[in-house]
Amino acid sequence: MSYVFPAAECNLELKLHYKGLLNATTYTGMISTGFVWGYLCDTLGRKKLLVTGYLLDAIFVFLASSSQSFAMLMVAKFFGGFI
């Protein structure tokens, strides 16, 4: 995320607390689904979920890179962490 902040700071007019909120949002998504993904990997197979996870992560990274507002960036980063 650190390589995105300089561009996002100018384009989306981000203040310091918004940057912190973006980092926290990503980790909130990760923390909320860690056990769920572990269970699913054990039951459905790691390879299938890794491929699916990479595909979904690529989609959310693309959405984050094309976001036009802070809210859209925040939602994309949350779901990127969620995956």
Q: Encode pLDDT of 19-76 as tens digits.
A: 889 889 989 989 989 889 989 999 999 999 999 999 999 999 899 888 888 899 999 9
User: What's the number of domains the chain is made of?
Assistant: 1
Kindly give the residue spans of alpha helices, DSSP state H, lying in the chain: 5-11, 16-44, 46-65, 70-82
Quote the pLDDT of residue 1.
63
Domain residue limits at 53: 5-82
Nearest to 1 by CA among 81, 82, 59: 81
CA distance 17 to 15: 6
- Residue 2, pLDDT > 70, answer no
